Amino acid sequence: MNYTCKDCSYRGKSSGQDGACLACGSFNIARTRSQEEKPRPGKLRLALLVALWVYLIGLIIWKLNH
Ligand SMILES: [Zn+2]
């Protein structure tokens, strides 16, 4: 979890054990969502690729059965 300190503007990956700022020890911090939660542009392409494969495999199975 990322956070930004409102007192010293320090940005860190995670705050201390008690939730205080690592730089100044202030509890006046704002937690921000990590960059991992940004939608990845490659994820949609991967889903499209998987869907295409499922379609092709389904087509092959259908051809074998008919
Ligand atoms: Zn601070």
User: Using one digit for the tens of pLDDT, what is the confidence trace for 48-62?
Assistant: 999 999 999 999 999
* Residues around the ion ligand 1 (C-beta < 5 A): 5, 7-8, 10, 21, 23-24, 26
* pLDDT at site 18: 72
Average pLDDT, the chain: 85
Nearest to 28 by CA among 56, 6, 11: 6
Q: Where is 12: in which H helix or E strand?
A: strand 11-12
* pLDDT at site 51: 97
User: Using one digit for the tens of pLDDT, what is the confidence trace for 7-43?
Assistant: 999 988 876 567 888 889 899 998 876 555 556 678 8
Q: Where is 29: in which H helix or E strand?
A: strand 29-32
Please tell me the distance from the alpha carbon of residue 6 to that of residue 30, in angstroms, as a whole number: 7
Amino acid at site 24: C
Q: Any idea what the Cα angle at residue 15 is, between residues 25 and 41, rounded to 5°?
A: 140
Q: Where is 3: in which H helix or E strand?
A: strand 2-5
- Tell me the CA–centroid distance for residue 6 and ligand 1, in Å: 7
